[in-house]
Copies of this chain bind each other. A is one copy, B any other.
Amino acid sequence: MNNSQKKSLSSACILVIGNEILSGRTEDKNINFIAKRCDEIGVSIDEVRIIPDEIKIIKDTVLFCHKNFDYVFTTGGIGPTHDDITTECIGSAFNLEVEVNKEALKRLKAHYNKLKVELNESRIKMAKIPKGAELIDNPVSSAPGFIVENIFVLPGVPKILQAMFNGIEDKIRGVTNIVSKNIVVYSAEGEIAELLESIQGKYPDVSIGSYPYFRPPDVGTNIVLRSIHQNLISEATIAICKKLKEYKIQFEKT
Contacts and interface: CB of A to CB of B under 8 A. Distances in A.
Given A23-B226, A24-B36, A31-B28, A117 B50 contact: no
A46 B126 CA distance: 27
Interface residues of A, number: 69
A191 B197 CA distance: 58
A210 interface: yes
Contact of A52 (B1, B33, B123): B1
Interface in A212-244: 212-214, 224, 226
Interface stretch (A75-83, A96-104, A146-154, A168-176): A75-83
B120 A194 contact: yes
A209 B83 contact: yes
Nearest to A29: B27
B157 A120 contact: no
Contacts of A121: 194
Given A24-B35, A35-B24, A47-B51, A81 B210 contact: yes
Interface in A114-172: 117, 120-123, 125-126, 140-141, 157, 159-160
A72 to B, nearest CB: 14
Interface of A: 1, 16, 19-28, 31-39, 44-53, 79-84, 117, 120-123, 125-126, 140-141, 157, 159-160, 188-194, 196-197, 200, 207-214, 224, 226
Ranked nearest first, the 4 interchain pairs of A and B with the lowest CB-CB distance are A122-B193, A24-B35, A24-B36, A48-B50
